[in-house]
Amino acid sequence: MSRHLRVALVQTPAESLEGFADGLRRRMNSPNAAQLIVYPELHLCSLGVESMSEQETVDLYAEPLDGPRGRMLGALARELGVWLVPGTVLERAEDGSVHNTAVVYNPDGERVAHYRKIFTWRPYEPFCVGREFVVFDMPEHGRVGLSICYDSWYPEVTRHLAWMGAELVINLVQTPTTGRLQEIPVNQANAIVNQIWVASVNGASPTAHGGTLLVDPEGHFQIPAAGMEDATLVGVVDFDRVGAARTFGTSGDSWPWEHFQQGDSRLELPLYNGYIDPATWRPTDPPLTPAPLRPASRTAAKGGAGDE
């Protein structure tokens, strides 16, 4: 069964909730229509903030995920019959803390996932940090992981999502600085070393510096890094290419998830006060994804001592 997914990566400046709703309806009634629509980080929570204090921003935009904004977003996803990632929002938790949180709605309008940013952009981003990695399943397609902007700089985030079975990682971004120049190769590297798809969606000028992209599991740009203009970038994610890369190797010669063999001792990781256990190294196989085949000649081809 084919597992292709048409995605629209919306690189656009910050909008009001009403403007967002109108724009989403227009996109879904145009050649930019897609099954999964993704917007940038804080897309609905950064309009006008350059003239606000931190407290004014929080007072205006922070609300519970099941508040009026969340109900409207779910209703939009249901109305249009799409998977919707409206960027991230300022979430006011039950204890009063405020998080930069990615939310995902399915075509029935249900919020199926939310992820609180772990690596906030300190010292400039004042919100509370998250402590959980998050993946969700898109039935008949594949498993998707969530990361937010600066998370991409920390390889542990994308590695963990891939280990949890993510075949596509959506990285939501609002980078208004030249740091976006570094984020482009960082996201490409995250795709290559984990053999997954990566979609990194930044805002457009004047809110952010663009550079939205889609990278396949072997590091090829399916949507090259865009400029800073307002644009909707449409591409197709073939989830089966994850299994293909892991079965036949990146460029036919690299199997990073297959390094450890039976009998290998664990690898100590003093940095984390932990270790890699060879028995648990390989990623979880998500639903509808067959376990990768492992060519018998693989280890010999890499110059090793033989297959496990």
Does some domain include residue 165?
yes
Is residue 194 included in any domain, yes or no? yes
Is 222 inside a domain boundary?
yes
Which pLDDT score is estimated for 240? 97
Final residue of a structural domain among 245, 260, 277: 245
Please report, as a single letter, which amino acid is at residue 290.
P
The answer to the question of residue 200 being in a domain is yes
Q: Which domain holds residue 179?
A: 4-245
Does 284 lie in the same domain as 182? no
Q: What is the CA radius of gyration of the chain?
A: 20
Can you tell me the distance from the alpha carbon of 192 to that of 216, in angstroms, rounded to the nearest whole number? 8
Same domain, 171 and 227: yes
Asked whether residue 308 is assigned to any structural domain, the reply reads no
Asked whether the bond before 286 is cis by omega within 30 degrees of 0, the reply is no
Residue 2's pLDDT is 82
What pLDDT does residue 288 have? 60
**Beta-bridge partner residues of 147:** 171
Return the pLDDT at 226: 85
Note whether 145 and 274 are same-domain residues: no
Residues 233 and 261 placed together within one structural domain of the fold: no
Same domain for 57 and 146?
yes
Residues 67 and 24 in one domain: yes
Q: Are 188 and 214 in contact (CB under 8 A)?
A: no
Q: Are residues 269 and 238 in the same domain?
A: no
Q: Is residue 26 included in any domain, yes or no?
A: yes
Length of the chain in residues, anyone? Answer: 308
Please say whether the dihedral angle defined by the alpha carbons of residues 162, 168, 174 and 177, taken in this order, is positive or negative.
Answer: positive
Residue 132 shares a structural domain with residue 95: yes
User: Is residue 177 located within the same domain as residue 81?
Assistant: yes
Boundary-marking domain end, from 245, 269, 285: 245
Distance from first CA to last CA of the chain, Å, rounded? 31
CATH number at residue 128: 3.60.110.10
Task: Give the distance, in angstroms, between the CA of residue 134 and the centroid of all CA atoms in the same chain.
Answer: 10
175 with 265, same domain: the answer is no
Determine, yes or no, domain membership for 272.
yes
Domain-located, residue 63: yes
**Residues 240, 255 share a domain:** no
Number of separate domains in the chain: 2
Report CA-CA distances (Å) from 254 to 17, 258, 301: 45, 9, 10
Distance of CA 133 to the CA centre of its chain: 11
On whether both 44 and 123 belong to a single domain, the answer is: yes
Q: pLDDT digit of tens for each residue in the chain (308 aa)?
A: 789 999 999 999 999 999 999 999 999 999 999 999 999 999 999 999 999 999 999 999 999 999 999 999 999 999 999 999 999 999 999 999 999 999 999 999 999 999 999 999 999 999 999 999 999 999 999 999 999 999 999 999 999 999 999 999 999 999 999 999 999 999 999 999 999 999 999 999 999 999 999 999 999 999 999 899 999 999 999 999 999 999 999 999 999 999 999 999 999 999 999 999 999 999 998 876 444 444 443 333 333 333 33
Q: How far apart are CA 3 and CA 252, in angstroms?
A: 22
Q: Are 99 and 50 spatial neighbours (Cβ–Cβ below 8 Å)?
A: no
